[in-house]
């Protein structure tokens, strides 16, 4: 690891960066350009984010708060739980003395904003024994926490058993390495059977007991209800954005997706996330009224649906390339909720969740249902072509969003999707969706440089006559 | 080396399998050690562990699997796509890891493309990643569903009595294998690791009664052996990813070492490693196959596994441990990293290697590393005991 990296605490770096960045909203355009000169590697992220206006400032403020809380956790008597991106963290906010740190978001932020991303941290994980072929999404930020360059982790809790071995395995490694308690929710390969539902509920109750045992804290029912009611509002707002995305041209700026899911996996159930969503909805509604595209140049030439995740390995280069080419980003697997109020869950009962705040038991079952229906835990747990799994979801979403093409981006560490993406792509093609499989790493530009990725995207869109 | 076991361990469709088929017997292949073979024996069906030992290229499996995937399931798909598993009457896929889980998808898709490669009965066994509580109940139900499915497909009845008989027979085999394991520890050495390992692998590829008969003879023959194996051979314990060809063991033993024990998806761990014959058979099978699992897919139980492995290494009096993982097998790759650290804390020398599966292993590179490790063991004179 480069010695200079050891000089800083990762959470502190994020806290400082975001806390300062949120004040840039008060700057004039000239002042902003001047600032950008001094932050050449943060600029590719910051500039397009700031251009989204109000939501950008809330986004920066939210992350400033999130990381500041983590930095001050010990001082404020709070424990820090290491968790994953497809786990809904609102349960942690229902306990007085617990704060979540979501590794993949940290990895993405370093990839988006730092010259070399978190590659030093990734390599550090390998140095201390973690498999070098493991997923880069965890290895990035995880390296910092294992090297003692982030918050002191008190426990590890996540939900990837049965869905993504590589992910669960990484968190298990971290727990063993740090010698802290570990709890992993586990999922059967089926989603909608009564037996599976019972499994989800029992497993989640064990998680609640685990949290209580290791935080010496009881869940406050009123606080839990508040968090879930806030989450309900957030779901509704996200669903409204998704619904408006069906319009042609798509009125949703592509970068909203990354802002939404980054905030969702760190600040679910918190008011600032609601505020950001409200601000986004207001802008998108205005675009709808005026018939405007969410693309900056206003001309939508293609609508692309990302069947898995995005590329964060070189700022928001992918989003910017989409902007340049007039391609509407229709979101990816991480973008949407599977709440029963979502437009695309209509008619498929059992695959969506309902927020029921009647009492403690219904709330815990609700949380179990939510976590069993997070993007990955819901969509890529069973056979890709089983009902309500990856193929079904992708086809129905691509159809309702009017996608012209589908894109797969991931990491070489993803055993799950690399074991069936070729099958999915074939099927999508047979349904008329030109599908591109990118071989790069969403978090690590050493695997494939952005220039190479860009060339391949160009080739795909050109050869398939999509632009 | 025992010819029967060698023949069984080195041929996909070995003589015992052919004989079984000629008599009209049914054969079902399975992918993972979470499948209780007793259930199939109770139905007079021969269960065989699926392997990829004859795969020397991946042109078929590359059409289904992506490039960043462990070569073991790819090798199995390659063989199935080449018609090498056409003799199977059924297959049970279980979710040993993500890639094995997706073998279910890949094989079915291949069956659409290459007619005749998908067996008439294709079953998915959903194994939880936890050993107890609701996960245990889930597994019990999975086994009950599996039994029903077998009964329906093969028109058989699997009674408790038949299950108990099958459990009894398998336990008898386990007792003999434990005798074999004890003989492997004797000094002077009476048996090479490759010999022992081929016998253990053969047990997953032959009818149990035939296997038991040969195993008794084999153990008796070893017991009576008077050997002059060099006493300065270093005793090595092998751990990690699935290893179903004894070529890796032979490679290690070509470096003046002998493999005296394994923790690689085959064989048994200790003398208590068997199914409880006093319990309800399905519950007893679940206790053995799920709750007693030592696979790193059961996340959260590393400390128990590490303690068990360290205990075995000590009892076997191994001089060192070779931890291997197939490239892209992150479960073992990562667990090996933790084990390496804990071996170090316990003054047990270890070597960590990454390889491709079986026939795809690059022997030269591995031989050089193993040679160096054995040389270090010899020059350091380290004795963890």
ipTM comes to 0.95
Judge: B330–A165 Cβ closer than 8 Å, yes or no.
Answer: yes
pLDDT number for residue A347: 73
pLDDT number for residue B271: 82
pLDDT number for residue B230: 64
Judge: B333–A134 Cβ closer than 8 Å, yes or no.
Answer: yes
Q: Note the pLDDT tens digit of each residue in A110-160.
A: 999 998 899 999 999 999 999 999 999 999 999 999 999 999 999 999 999
- Mean pLDDT for all residues in chain B: 94
Residue A363 at interface with chain B, using a CB cutoff of 8 Å: no
Across B148-157, average pLDDT: 98
Report CA-CA distances (Å) from B70 to A116, B98, B326, B361. 28, 10, 6, 12
Residue A308 at interface with chain B, using a CB cutoff of 8 Å: no
Judge: A131–B333 Cβ closer than 8 Å, yes or no.
Answer: yes
Judge: A416–B331 Cβ closer than 8 Å, yes or no.
Answer: no
Contact residues for B364 (Cβ-Cβ < 8 A; gap 6+): none
Across A1-11, average pLDDT: 91
pLDDT number for residue B145: 98
Across A57-69, average pLDDT: 97
The whole-angstrom separation of Cα B354 and Cα B336 is 10
Residue B383 predicted with pLDDT over 60: no
- Contact list, A419 vs chain B (CB under 8 Å): 65-66, 69, 73, 98-99, 101-103, 105-106
- Look up residue B11 and give its two tokens: 């041929």
DSSP characters over B300-343: T-HHHHHHHHHHHHHHHT-SEEEEEEETT-HHHHHHHHHHHHHH
Residue B51 predicted with pLDDT over 60: yes
Using CB atoms, which residue from B130, B134, B330 is nearest to A166? B330
- Mean pLDDT for all residues in chain A: 95
- Contact list, B103 vs chain A (CB under 8 Å): 419
The whole-angstrom separation of Cα B31 and Cα B371 is 32
- How far off is chain B from A237, nearest CA to CA, in Å? 34
Residue B382 predicted with pLDDT over 60: no
B336, closest residue in chain A (CA to CA)? A129
Across B31-54, average pLDDT: 96
Using CB atoms, which residue from B331, B340, B341 is nearest to A169? B331
The whole-angstrom separation of Cα A86 and Cα A376 is 6
Across B120-141, average pLDDT: 97
User: Confidence band (pLDDT; 50, 70, 90) for B191?
Assistant: very high
The whole-angstrom separation of Cα A146 and Cα A152 is 9
pLDDT number for residue B385: 47
- Look up residue A368 and give its two tokens: 């179990």
In total, chain A counts a number of residues equal to: 467
- How far off is chain A from B150, nearest CA to CA, in Å? 20
- How far off is chain B from A199, nearest CA to CA, in Å? 6
Residue A170 at interface with chain B, using a CB cutoff of 8 Å: yes
Tell which B residues from 35 to 94 touch A, by Cβ distance under 8 Å.
63-70, 73
Residue A247 φ/ψ, nearest 5 degrees: -70, 155
Judge: B63–A412 Cβ closer than 8 Å, yes or no.
Answer: no
**Beta strands per DSSP E along A126-248:** 155-161, 182-186
Judge: B333–A133 Cβ closer than 8 Å, yes or no.
Answer: yes
B339, closest residue in chain A (CA to CA)? A129
**C-alpha closest to that of A48 among A333, A297, A408:** A297
- How far off is chain A from B57, nearest CA to CA, in Å? 18
A363-372, B84-93, B126-135, B358-367: the lowest-pLDDT one: B358-367
- Angle at alpha carbon of residue A194, lines to A191 and A196, rounded to 5°: 40
pLDDT number for residue B141: 98
- How far off is chain B from A439, nearest CA to CA, in Å? 9
- Contact list, A202 vs chain B (CB under 8 Å): 133-134
Judge: B68–A182 Cβ closer than 8 Å, yes or no.
Answer: no
- Angle at alpha carbon of residue A99, lines to A141 and A95, rounded to 5°: 155
- How far off is chain A from B130, nearest CA to CA, in Å? 8
Using CB atoms, which residue from B63, B67, B130 is nearest to A186? B130
Judge: B297–A165 Cβ closer than 8 Å, yes or no.
Answer: yes
Judge: B65–A422 Cβ closer than 8 Å, yes or no.
Answer: yes
**C-alpha closest to that of A182 among A155, A207, A204:** A155
- Contact list, A131 vs chain B (CB under 8 Å): 325, 329-330, 333-334, 337
**C-alpha closest to that of A445 among A315, A331, A334:** A315
Residue B364 at interface with chain A, using a CB cutoff of 8 Å: no
Residue A193 at interface with chain B, using a CB cutoff of 8 Å: no
Contact residues for B227 (Cβ-Cβ < 8 A; gap 6+): B188, B189, B190
- Look up residue A107 and give its two tokens: 């990895």
A180, closest residue in chain B (CA to CA)? B300
Q: Note the pLDDT tens digit of each residue in A320-341.
A: 999 999 999 999 999 889 999 8
Residue A186 at interface with chain B, using a CB cutoff of 8 Å: yes
Size of interface A-B (CB pairs under 8 A): 148
Using CB atoms, which residue from B65, B296, B327 is nearest to A133? B327
Q: N- to C-terminal Cα distance for chain A? A: 43
Using CB atoms, which residue from B133, B302, B330 is nearest to A134? B330
pLDDT number for residue A121: 97
Using CB atoms, which residue from A165, A172, A439 is nearest to B98? A165
pLDDT number for residue A344: 86
- Contact list, B104 vs chain A (CB under 8 Å): 383
In this structure, are residues A51 and A296 in contact, taking their beta carbons and an 8 Å threshold? yes
Residue B133 at interface with chain A, using a CB cutoff of 8 Å: yes
Judge: A189–B105 Cβ closer than 8 Å, yes or no.
Answer: no
Residue B109 at interface with chain A, using a CB cutoff of 8 Å: yes
Judge: A129–B336 Cβ closer than 8 Å, yes or no.
Answer: yes
Residue A210 at interface with chain B, using a CB cutoff of 8 Å: no
A198, closest residue in chain B (CA to CA)? B134
- Contact list, B102 vs chain A (CB under 8 Å): 384, 415-416, 419-420
pLDDT number for residue A379: 93
The whole-angstrom separation of Cα B204 and Cα B174 is 12
pLDDT number for residue A338: 94
User: Confidence band (pLDDT; 50, 70, 90) for B361?
Assistant: confident
Residue B323 at interface with chain A, using a CB cutoff of 8 Å: no
pLDDT number for residue A336: 87
Using CB atoms, which residue from B124, B299, B330 is nearest to A131? B330
The whole-angstrom separation of Cα A98 and Cα A152 is 13
Q: Note the pLDDT tens digit of each residue in B270-289.
A: 888 999 999 999 999 999 99
Residue B116 at interface with chain A, using a CB cutoff of 8 Å: no
The whole-angstrom separation of Cα A235 and Cα A339 is 7
Residue B373 predicted with pLDDT over 90: yes
Judge: B105–A418 Cβ closer than 8 Å, yes or no.
Answer: no
Task: Tell me whether the omega of the peptide bond preceding residue B207 falls within 30 degrees of 0, making it cis.
Answer: no
Across A69-77, average pLDDT: 97
Percent helix, strand, coil in chain A, to 5, is 55, 10, 35
Query: All domains of chain B, ordered by start, with CATH?
Result: 10-157 (3.40.50.11890)
Judge: A416–B98 Cβ closer than 8 Å, yes or no.
Answer: yes
- How far off is chain A from B22, nearest CA to CA, in Å? 35
């Amino acid at each position: 690891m480069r010695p200079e990296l050891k000089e800083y605490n990762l959470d502190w770096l994020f806290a400082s960066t975001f806390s300062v960045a949120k004040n840039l909203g008060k700057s004039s355009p000239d002042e902003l350009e001047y600032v950008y000169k001094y932050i050449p590697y943060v600029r590719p992220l910051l500039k397009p984010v700031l251009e989204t206006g109000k939501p950008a400032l809330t986004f920066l403020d939210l992350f400033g708060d999130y990381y500041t809380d983590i930095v001050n956790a010990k001082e404020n008597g709070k424990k820090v739980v290491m968790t994953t991106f497809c786990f809904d963290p609102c349960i942690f906010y229902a306990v007085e003395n617990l704060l979540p740190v979501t590794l993949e978001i940290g990895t993405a932020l370093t990839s988006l904003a730092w010259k070399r991303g978190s590659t030093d941290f990734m390599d550090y994980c390998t140095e201390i024994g973690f498999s070098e072929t493991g997923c880069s999404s965890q290895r990035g930020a995880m390296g910092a926490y294992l090297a003692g360059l982030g918050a002191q982790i008190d426990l590890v809790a996540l939900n990837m058993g049965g869905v993504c071995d590589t992910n669960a395995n990484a968190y298990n490694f971290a727990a063993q390495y740090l010698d802290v308690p570990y709890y992993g929710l586990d999922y059967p390969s089926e989603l909608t059977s009564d037996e599976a539902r019972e499994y989800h509920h029992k497993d989640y109750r064990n998680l609640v007991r685990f949290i209580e045992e290791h935080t010496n804290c009881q869940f406050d029912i009123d606080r839990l209800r508040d968090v879930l009611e806030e989450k309900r509002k957030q779901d509704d707002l996200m669903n409204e954005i998704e619904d408006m995305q069906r319009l042609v041209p798509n009125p949703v700026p592509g970068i909203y997706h990354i802002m939404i899911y980054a905030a969702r996996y760190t600040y679910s159930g918190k008011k600032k996330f609601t505020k950001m969503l409200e601000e986004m909805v207001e802008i998108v509604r205005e675009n709808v009224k005026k018939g405007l595209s969410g693309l900056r140049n206003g001309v939508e030439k293609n609508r692309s649906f990302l069947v898995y995740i995005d590329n964060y390995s070189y700022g928001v280069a992918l989003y910017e390339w989409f902007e340049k080419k007039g391609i509407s980003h229709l979101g990816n697997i991480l973008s949407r909720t599977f709440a029963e109020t979502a437009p695309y869950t209509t008619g498929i009962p059992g695959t969506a969740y309902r927020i029921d705040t009647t009492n403690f038991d219904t709330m815990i079952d609700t949380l179990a249902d939510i976590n069993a229906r997070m993007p990955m835990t819901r969509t890529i747990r069973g056979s890709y072509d089983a009902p309500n799994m990856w193929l079904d979801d992708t086809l129905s979403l691509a159809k309702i969003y009017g996608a012209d093409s589908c894109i797969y981006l991931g990491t070489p560490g993803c055993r799950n999707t690399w074991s069936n993406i070729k099958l999915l792509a074939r099927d999508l093609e047979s349904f008329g969706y030109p599908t591109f499989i990118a071989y790069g790493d969403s978090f690590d530009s050493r695997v494939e440089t952005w220039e190479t990725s860009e060339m391949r995207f160009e080739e795909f869109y050109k050869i398939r006559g999509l632009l | 080396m025992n010819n029967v076991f060698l023949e069984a361990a080195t041929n996909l469709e070995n003589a015992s399998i052919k004989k079984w088929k000629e008599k009209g017997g049914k054969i079902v292949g399975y992918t993972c050690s979470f499948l209780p073979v007793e259930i199939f024996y109770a139905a007079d069906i021969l269960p065989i562990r699926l392997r990829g030992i004859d795969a020397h290229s991946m042109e078929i499996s590359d059409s289904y699997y992506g490039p960043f995937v462990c070569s073991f399931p790819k090798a199995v798909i390659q063989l199935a796509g080449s018609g090498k598993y056409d003799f199977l009457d059924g297959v049970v896929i279980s979710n040993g890891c993500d890639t094995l889980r997706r073998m279910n998808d890949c094989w079915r898709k291949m069956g659409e493309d290459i007619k005749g490669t998908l067996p008439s009965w294709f079953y998915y066994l959903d194994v939880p990643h936890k050993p107890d509580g609701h996960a245990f109940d889930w597994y019990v139900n999975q086994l009950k569903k599996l039994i029903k499915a077998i009964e329906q497909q093969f028109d058989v009845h699997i009674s408790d009595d038949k299950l108990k008989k099958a459990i009894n027979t398998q336990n008898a085999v386990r007792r003999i294998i434990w005798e074999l394991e004890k003989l492997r520890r004797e000094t002077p050495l009476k048996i090479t690791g490759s010999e022992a390992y081929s016998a253990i692998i053969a047990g997953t590829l032959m009818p149990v009664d035939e296997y038991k008969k040969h195993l008794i003879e084999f153990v008796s023959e070893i017991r009576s052996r008077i050997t002059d194996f060099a006493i300065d051979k270093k005793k090595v314990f092998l751990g990690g990813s699935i290893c179903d060809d004894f070529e890796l063991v032979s490679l290690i033993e070509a470096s003046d070492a002998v493999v005296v024990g394994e923790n690689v998806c085959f064989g048994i761990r200790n003398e208590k490693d068997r199914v409880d014959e006093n319990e309800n058979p399905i519950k007893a099978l679940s206790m053995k196959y799920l709750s007693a699992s030592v696979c790193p897919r059961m996340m959260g139980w590393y400390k128990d596994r590490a303690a068990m492995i360290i205990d075995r290494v000590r009892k076997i009096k191994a001089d060192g441990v070779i931890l291997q993982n197939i490239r892209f097998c992150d479960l073992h790759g990562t667990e090996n990293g933790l084990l390496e650290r804990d071996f170090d804390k316990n003054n047990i020398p270890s070597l960590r290697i990454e390889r491709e599966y079986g026939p795809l292993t690059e022997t030269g590179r591995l031989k050089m590393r193993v040679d160096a490790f054995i040389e270090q063991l010899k020059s350091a004179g380290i004795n963890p005991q």
